[in-house]
A and B are shown apart, each in its own frame.
Chain A
């Protein structure tokens, strides 16, 4: 089966080569974890590295900030739009859920750029426009299905409210069962500093790296770093070094050694 690469090499390795084609991917995380950047990077790399054009759907009031933020990371979205390789669609969530005589709001943009990828930022906004919680799942299902029938590999962003702590739900509306892949972004506190962690929680039909990896947002986008192998309980909010690692560090310090730079 074809893989849809993100262009972030370590993430693609974690995914066994990339997302599965036409899969519905959910990127969940609390504010500030880099979900939007991941979505933009997925699309920008699709255009520049893999020849796969894309659409970014946002419900922001003034999305021109997205153009500015992307430019700062080296992605000229306006240029991509001029070349008909990319579209940034800004609309209201309820319009996205409607159809008219079989036509969908995104049909035209899809045709204009011959889109293969799409990012929805964010699926959480749908909750504002449905009356019952269970309707969110129904609406999301229809939307994700629509993307699959159009041959798109979708990446939907979901805001989780909890920044830290040991209790978190990816979604409280059952979306985790609908999607094919879930990537979780988390802020974690380690030794009094906030660090960012990424883990692939689920990937239907493919093996994937189940380890938690640290990542950072650089001037070129998201870069994955090493795993948190020396820590336990990272996601619980109370990260601590493993006993053997603690022992090794203490032994080194006791005998007057300093730690080597991290590889």
Chain B
């Protein structure tokens, strides 16, 4: 099962690389339906994020361990901003607002995951708060993400966000910078967890690190794509969905109690 998971990731990388190399060909096919994007966002990004964020919250309340809280808020940020971004494109916004929200949300998520991963790899063990503080901290974190999403949505609908697409429809330097940072942070988080996996041999960590690698891949593909909705960006979206599935697999592994560190 783990081998299949790794194989799918590699295949996706190869497909993206292959498409990128065939420069003229990839831009000919463009398909971008906001409603389909919204449905797919709801099913994968949002659905996954709620489940994982809930388990992470329970886990944090049990352990008081901040790295788990960062992972939970990171996943929630990824899911909420993704579906909010897709929804704005359907209800009053444009594809640019959707892209801006998705990318900013992904950047926030990557930052939170990176913080969580560095806390995990710290040799002395993760930071732990007292039980009495844990509930308040958890609520603050999760409500903070909710508030951030609401603010982002409001700003994007008002047109208050800086431009993420040029008039010709290609990505602005700001957009590209956000994507590069997101790729870097998700990729680093994945590598950190892979290193952690090499010691712990926990299946949960294995699937989680692969999921983060896929989220890095999806941001990278958006970076490489010519226009939103081309083949590479659809491969990037596939990477997002696969990453969401892998996060769910990590949670299912945890539910079966099989993923404990050895």
Secondary structure at the A interface, as helix, strand, loop or mixed, is helix
Whether B255 is near chain A, meaning CB under 8 Å from some CB there, is: yes
- Per the 8 Å Cβ criterion, residues 242-259 of B in contact with A are 251, 253-259
- Complex CA gap A3/B129 in Å reads 42
Cβ proximity bits B33-68 to A, threshold 8 Å, 1 near / 0 not: 000000000000000000000111011111111011
- Complex CA gap A21/B141 in Å reads 49
Cβ proximity bits A222-263 to B, threshold 8 Å, 1 near / 0 not: 000000000000000000000111111111111111111101
Return chain A residues, CB-CB under 8 Å to B260.
250, 253-254
- Complex CA gap A247/B63 in Å reads 13
- Complex CA gap A250/B59 in Å reads 8
- Per the 8 Å Cβ criterion, residues 89-112 of A in contact with B are none
A258 touches B128 (CB 8 A): yes
Whether B178 is near chain A, meaning CB under 8 Å from some CB there, is: no
A254 touches B62 (CB 8 A): no
Given A244-B55, A248-B59, A255 contacting B257 (CB threshold 8 A): no
Given A243-B255, A256-B261, A261 contacting B59 (CB threshold 8 A): no
- Complex CA gap A252/B56 in Å reads 8
Give the residue name and chain of the A residue nearest to B205 (CB): A254
- Per the 8 Å Cβ criterion, residues 45-60 of A in contact with B are none
B205 touches A255 (CB 8 A): yes
Give the residue name and chain of the B residue nearest to A263 (CB): B131
Whether B204 is near chain A, meaning CB under 8 Å from some CB there, is: yes
A259 touches B255 (CB 8 A): no
A247 touches B261 (CB 8 A): no
Secondary structure at the B interface, as helix, strand, loop or mixed, is helix
A257 touches B259 (CB 8 A): no
- Complex CA gap A72/B251 in Å reads 50
Return chain B residues, CB-CB under 8 Å to A244.
54-55, 58, 255
B254 touches A256 (CB 8 A): no
Give the residue name and chain of the B residue nearest to A240 (CB): B257
A260 touches B254 (CB 8 A): no
Given A246-B257, A250-B260, A261 contacting B65 (CB threshold 8 A): no
B254 touches A251 (CB 8 A): yes
Nearest Cβ on chain A to B142's Cβ, whole angstroms: 15
A256 touches B125 (CB 8 A): yes
Chain A interface size range: 20 to 34
Nearest Cβ on chain A to B190's Cβ, whole angstroms: 15
Return chain A residues, CB-CB under 8 Å to B257.
246, 250
Whether B221 is near chain A, meaning CB under 8 Å from some CB there, is: no
Give the residue name and chain of the A residue nearest to B206 (CB): A254
Q: Contact check: which of B62, B205, B255, B258 meets A252 at CB < 8 Å?
A: B62
B59 touches A249 (CB 8 A): yes
Nearest Cβ on chain A to B24's Cβ, whole angstroms: 46
Nearest Cβ on chain A to B246's Cβ, whole angstroms: 14
Whether B238 is near chain A, meaning CB under 8 Å from some CB there, is: no
Return chain B residues, CB-CB under 8 Å to A243.
255
Whether B200 is near chain A, meaning CB under 8 Å from some CB there, is: yes
Given A247-B251, A250-B204, A260 contacting B259 (CB threshold 8 A): no
Give the residue name and chain of the B residue nearest to A252 (CB): B63
Given A247-B254, A252-B68, A257 contacting B131 (CB threshold 8 A): no
B63 touches A257 (CB 8 A): yes
B128 touches A260 (CB 8 A): yes
B71 touches A255 (CB 8 A): yes
Q: Contact check: which of B54, B131, B202, B256 meets A260 at CB < 8 Å?
A: B131
Return chain B residues, CB-CB under 8 Å to A257.
59, 63-65, 67-68, 125-126, 128
Given A244-B255, A260-B134, A254 contacting B55 (CB threshold 8 A): no
- Complex CA gap A244/B63 in Å reads 14
Return chain A residues, CB-CB under 8 Å to B255.
243-244, 246-247, 250
Given A255-B67, A256-B125, A257-B67, A248 contacting B131 (CB threshold 8 A): no
Q: Could you jot down 12 A-B contacts, CB within 8 Å?
A: A243-B255, A247-B251, A248-B55, A250-B259, A251-B204, A252-B62, A256-B120, A256-B196, A256-B200, A257-B64, A257-B65, A257-B67
Tell me the B residues contacting A by CB distance below 8 Å. 54-56, 58-65, 67-68, 71, 120, 125-126, 128, 130-131, 134, 196, 200, 202, 204-205, 251, 253-261
Supply 7 further A-B pairs (C-beta < 8 A) apart from A253-B261, A256-B67, A256-B261. A244-B55, A244-B58, A247-B254, A250-B254, A250-B257, A251-B254, A256-B196
